[in-house]
Amino acid sequence: MRHDAHVFSNGHHWLSGRVLLLMAITALPLTLAACSQSNTSASDAKPDQSDAITTQTVQEAKITTQEVRKAEVAPIMTPVTTQSTLLKNVSATVYKDANCGCCKEWVGYAEDNGLSATTHDVADVSLFKERYGMPQNMRACHTTVTTDGYVFEGHVPAKHMAQFLASPPSDAIGLAVPGMPVGSPGMKNGDKFTPYQVMQINKDGSTEVYAAIESVQQQL
């Protein structure tokens, strides 16, 4: 009887130990899962400070990039200046040589200032200068004749054409810029400029100074 009891006792202890070990092994995954869930919840509840700093840095970088892009776009959005309308209601015919580059430049300049120009390339421009009474010493490369009969010889500034047409002197037929002064309208050559005079041409063939141009600004 004692031997059986001893066996039973040992067997009971062995079985109890196995049961406890099995319970511990079974509970281990649950404990680990609960621990993992607890850590995850804590992480979600309190974001890592380094992550917050990184997010803020990225946002600041985006703002800086946007500001740079705006600065780069700004010059493109600068309003375009409108063309001058000094000669808006003026129509004229321009007689010139077909190969005269500065004549083309002046016509483009005059049109930018509102002139409605019709150009004629002619073989001998001197014929038209004689026809419209332009003195020999006042001649230049091209001759412009308005629809009301006034003559503008050479690289006359639009500013002075407009002034003349607004109040034409009773004894004048027009204005002239003799020769081809460097820096005058249609004769741009970098920053170079040669002072010149705008001459008034009278009906009797006499001339007088209409305006003295000493700088580029004075012809604008």
Instruction: For residue 55, name the pLDDT band (cuts at 50, 70, 90).
Output: low
Most confident of the ranges 3-12, 41-50, 81-90, 164-173? 164-173
Lowest-pLDDT range of 53-57, 71-75, 138-142, 173-177: 71-75
Where are the chain's structural domains? Answer: 2-77, 91-219
Backbone angles phi and psi of 197, in degrees to 5:
-120, 140
Instruction: For residue 67, name the pLDDT band (cuts at 50, 70, 90).
Output: low
Residue of 191 and 13 predicted with greater confidence: 191
Confidence check: pLDDT of 17 > 50: no
What pLDDT does 184 receive? 98
Span 171-187, average pLDDT: 98
- For 37-66, b/e burial (b = at least 16 CB within 10 A) is eeeeeeeeeeeeeeeeeeeeeeeeeeeeee
Structure tokens at 91: 């129509």
What pLDDT does 83 receive? 63
DSSP structural state of residue 83: P
Confidence check: pLDDT of 167 > 50: yes
Span 180-205, average pLDDT: 97
Residues 6+ away with beta carbon under 8 Å from 203: 133, 171, 172, 173
The model's pLDDT over 135-145, given as tens digits with 9 standing for 90+, comes to 999 999 999 99
What pLDDT does 84 receive? 82
- The span from the CA of 122 to the CA of 134, in Å, is 17
Confidence check: pLDDT of 39 > 90: no
DSSP string for residues in 116-155: EEEEEE-S-THHHHHHTT--GGG--S-EEEETTS-EEEES
What pLDDT does 59 receive? 57
Span 12-27, average pLDDT: 44
